[in-house]
Amino acid sequence: MRTKTSASLCLLNSAALLRSVITTLSKLKTITTEAQLREAARELLAHDPVLHWKWKVWEPRRERGADAVLELELDGRRFGFDVEFVQTPTARNTNRLAERTGGRPGLLIAPHLSETLAGQCRERGLNYLDLNGRLWLRTKGLLVERQPGVSSQRVRPALTPPDLFSAKSSRLARALLSHPGRTWSQSELVARTGLSPGLVSRLVRHLVNEGLLGQDRRVLLVARADALLDAWAARDDWARRTTVRQYSLLESDLEAVARRLVKCLPTSGQPTFTQWFAANLRHPYTTPPVVSAYVPELPDERVERALTARRVTDGGTLWLAVPEDDGVFRETQRVGDFTLACDAQVYLDLLPVGWRGPEQAKALRDWKGFGKGGR
């Protein structure tokens, strides 16, 4: 936790603090009513070992325009907040709260707040607290921030949201990020991704609620491409979603290796290049150390002989990856004679690897042409 006032700066062991703060919620799994939310929030704040809270007004009144009034005492100073309890927060109601004017700053209290919505609240200057210990307060002379660890999660949403970034569902994010300025209908997204209409509908609804996707009647448009990519990067796991085999070749020219791979693989199993080799073709930054590509299946011995490639456990100059889902082949781009994964996929694939992979990823993402090469 980081707590800052105009007079002091205090650094604490956030993990120990959060365990203490949420002890009383250890048996609480879901919150289904505002009354439950109110009581859980009151109990949570009563057990805060560092921040001293006091409910100045508990019952809401129409003329007040707030559900409650909460006061924080810190370093001899008092800070008041107009509280609004929100059972299921969405981008729409967080935006509404951020735009509300009044004598005291607003404070959103919810059972669970996703990191995406929390980030949007911070951008809009809206204070928030959720029952898992996530807290952000910023007003004149005050800055308080807490980020709960994974083990601190005790409260889940009443309605479990769909997994946006599972191997299959990520087809939707990949399509949206490959064409960030394009407008879509749900039927177009169904056709583009090959997902069922029901799954696309649930994913779209959640993306809209998170403020990542804008919707005007039936027209959809990416609203926050950077936030969508950041959310995907936070969940992505290259090692789990791919099966990788490395090869050693006598050929040292990596472009020649890539051309030989294209020539030796059957038409139905053509490679889609990614990581350093693909990023270098899109936006050169560092010399590629290996050629890496997605393939539908690993080559047999006949193809390996044609490649003059030898399987190795480490140090290979050719990496072939079979993805858990074939969505990586649905959004591709051409550079010269090579088919590449979309920029968002190349970016994700570079983040967990060495040889300056994260630096190459950042350079690609910062490039003005990022995301503009899809077809």
User: Is residue 349 a contact partner of residue 341, using CB atoms and an 8 Å limit?
Assistant: yes
CA distance 189 to 200: 7
pLDDT of 161-181, one tens digit each? 899 999 999 999 999 999 988
Tens digit of pLDDT for each residue in 217-226?
A: 889 999 999 9
Is the pLDDT at 298 greater than 90, yes or no? Answer: yes
Measure the CA angle with vertex 115, ends 324 and 234; round to 5°. Answer: 30
**Mean pLDDT for the chain overall:** 87
Indicate the pTM of the whole model.
0.82
pLDDT tens string 69-98: 999 998 889 999 999 999 999 999 899 888
What is the separation of C-alpha 97 from the centre of its chain, rounded to a whole number of angstroms? 23
Q: What is the pLDDT of residues 41-62, one digit of tens each?
A: 999 999 888 899 999 888 766 5
Strand partners, 79: 72
The pLDDT of residue 244: 96
Q: Is the pLDDT of residue 20 over 90?
A: no
Q: Which residues contact 166 (CB under 8 A, 6 or more apart)?
A: none
Q: Hey, what domains does the chain have and what are their CATH numbers?
A: 2-152 (3.40.91), 170-235 (1.10.10.10), 238-366 (no CATH)
For residue 183, give both structure tokens. 């407008």
273 pLDDT above the threshold of 70: yes
Q: Please state, in angstroms and rounded to a whole number, the distance separating the CA atoms of residues 47 and 36.
A: 17
How far apart, in whole angstroms, are the C-alpha atoms of residue 293 and residue 191?
25
What DSSP designation does 66 have?
B
- Between the alpha carbon of residue 192 and those of residues 176, 221, 253, 341, 345, the distances in Å are 10, 15, 36, 16, 16
d(CA 161, CA 51): 32
Cα(107)–Cα(80) distance, integer angstroms = 9
Q: Tell me, what amino acid is at 16?
A: A
Contact 128, 113 (CB under 8 A): yes
Q: Letter for the amino acid at 353?
A: V
Out of 4-13, 124-133, 314-323, least confident range: 4-13
To which residue do tokens 């073709």 refer?
281
Write down the pLDDT at residue 328. 96
Cα separation, 294 vs 265, in Å, equals 12
CA 112 to chain centre: 16
